[in-house]
Amino acid sequence: MVEVQDSSSDAVAATAVARPDSNPPRAANMDTYNFRLLTALLPKLPLIVRVAVMHVLRLSEQAKYLDLRSALVVAVLRSFMEPPPDRPRTSVSALQRLTLTDNGVRGRIWVSTYAAPPPPETGIRDALMQAVDDMRDRNLPEPLFKTPELVPVEAEWTGYRAGAAPGDPLPRKSARELYDSMMVECSQPTTVLYLHGGAYYLCDPSTHRPVNKKLAKLTGGRCYSVRYRLAPQHPFPAALLDALVSYFTLLYPPPDAFHEPVEPEHLVLAGDSAGGNLVLALLQLLLEFRRKGTTVQWFGEARDVPLPAGVTLNSPWTDITMSSPSWEGTASAPFDYLPKPEALARGKTRECEAWPASPPRKWLYVDDLLVTHPLSSVVMSRSWEGAPPVYMCTGWEILALEDKFLARRLHDEGVPVVFEEYEAMPHCFAMILDKTPNARRCFEGWAGFIRRTVEDAGSIRSAAVEVKAKTLEEVPLVFEELSDVTEEEMWGRVYDKAGFAKLGEAASARL
């Protein structure tokens, strides 16, 4: 989840802070980029000095847990994302253009782009739309929304390129040849289907190449990072359809695919933030197919719907309505940079061709009558029984309450869960504070879970730990103590926040 508040220079600076490991612009654009970055950071100098002095004197809460660089990164990033009331925020379209800028591929990474063609029949979309209808709340009016088109879905095959120097460009080869070169360096059969974060309207596989490169390196496998359609231009369930098509593409390759069929026991889903929500929505959809015995017509054949070997989630956003108490008020979260809805409401977003939507709606990602749908706000799912092992990490962030709720619920329903809470860390810290020991520990845990899932998923046992910020000491946690919120209480909050007060009262009445 990311929202930057103001000018293009501010957005450039926030992106530079938030994506420290991504490729900088090419030399021809570097002077302009550096000038805009400097222009945006100069007004932050008093903040930087204040945070630094408070940290050195050990007067801030953050100084007890974070190094100075990490404290500065969080503070500066927060200042870009929390809008002053008197300055309009950058339009949705402008922010999208910024985060969709691809600065190229260089260094120790293989990237091969493949566009999966839509199947000749509509079976996969029909199955999705049937599930959307079957799973919707019949107490709400029937939503009117556009069925997404079946379109080619691009993804980036990503692998680790051990022999390259940090600035080396990709060889001049075709996409298929690049894929073949990547496969030479894969030592394991592991395939990670990756769904990127960005609040469903920002970012791209190009912004998440560092993450995919690290996962590929640490697992010995490869990643398939999906360029799913973004809201608000393509609201729910367009992204979910693209994720489902990508899943089937891996299992049952189209005729022009580079890859051989991926065995389900070698396939792991992964995502961060909104991408974590999309991963969980895909998992819930697959579980629904299995509950109903659904088969899918795919390139002329009726295909079964197997489950992946495992699911991995980094700071997942599970409640689109943002109903948890941690989202309330305007005061900044002490260890997070995400802005709260009330703080954002003080400013105004510049209008553009993408937003406000027509017809108007409240939520960027989804129609108002579908925001509580379990394939949209996955916290509303009625059952996770039968799900494969799940890894989840979170920090001391705004999303921690809903993440802990989900971890406990999965555990209560018999799903093997490995849950890691990182002391004093912000949202998606492993990608923001990527040089810290905490980030390295997170990637080791994340990739280690993926390796174990592919090697022997049946050996995974539930475990919950808190990882201390300074020492990386692992303190055991008890699943039953992660959250004291019941399903009815959570559902009541979501209904209330969505504006369905009577349904919220009915949920509370069932307590």
29: pLDDT strictly greater than 70: no
21: pLDDT strictly greater than 80: no
Dihedral angle, C-alpha 381, 358, 129, 414, nearest 10 °: -10
Tell which wins on pLDDT, 30 or 277.
277
pTM: 0.94
Q: Residues 258, 112: contact at Cβ < 8 Å? A: yes
35: pLDDT strictly greater than 80: no
* Backbone φ/ψ region at 414: left (φ over 0), alpha (ψ -120 to 50), beta: left
Residue type present at position 456: D
CA distances from 150 to 125, 203, 410 (A): 7, 21, 32
Cα 418 to Cα 427: distance, rounded to the nearest angstrom: 18
Tokens 């009625």: give the residue. 382
438: pLDDT strictly greater than 90: yes
Query: Helix or strand or coil: residue 349?
Result: strand
Active site residues: 273
Please state the rounded mean pLDDT for residues 302-321.
98
User: Mind listing the pLDDT tens digit for each residue in 327-375?
Assistant: 999 889 999 999 999 988 888 889 999 999 999 999 999 999 999 999 9
Mapping DSSP onto H, E and C, the string for 38-72 reads HHHHHHHHHHHHHHHHHHHCCCCCHHHCCCHHHHH
162: how many CB neighbours lie within 10 A of its CB?
9
User: Mind listing the pLDDT tens digit for each residue in 149-204?
Assistant: 999 999 999 999 999 999 999 999 999 999 999 999 999 999 999 999 999 999 99
Cα 75 to Cα 73: distance, rounded to the nearest angstrom: 6
229: pLDDT strictly greater than 90: yes
412: pLDDT strictly greater than 80: yes
Cα 387 to Cα 287: distance, rounded to the nearest angstrom: 7
Q: Residues 237, 171: contact at Cβ < 8 Å? A: no
The band of 81, judged by pLDDT with boundaries at 50, 70 and 90, is: confident
User: Mind listing the pLDDT tens digit for each residue in 454-506?
Assistant: 999 999 999 999 999 999 999 999 999 999 999 999 999 999 999 997 765 66
Domains (range + CATH), the chain = 8-100 (no CATH), 109-324+363-481 (3.40.50.1820)
Mapping DSSP onto H, E and C, the string for 238-272 reads HHHHHHHHHHHHHHCCCCCCCCCCCCHHHEEEEEE
Instruction: Give the best-scoring range by mean pLDDT among 22-36, 90-104, 260-274.
Output: 260-274
Please state the rounded mean pLDDT for residues 304-331.
96
Cα 484 to Cα 401: distance, rounded to the nearest angstrom: 10
Beta bridge partners of 269: 193, 311
Q: What pLDDT was estimated at residue 19?
A: 54
13: pLDDT strictly greater than 80: no
3: pLDDT strictly greater than 50: no
- Rounded (5°) CA angle 63-211-30: 85
Percent residues over pLDDT 70 in the chain = 91
The band of 32, judged by pLDDT with boundaries at 50, 70 and 90, is: low
Please state the rounded mean pLDDT for residues 34-55.
87
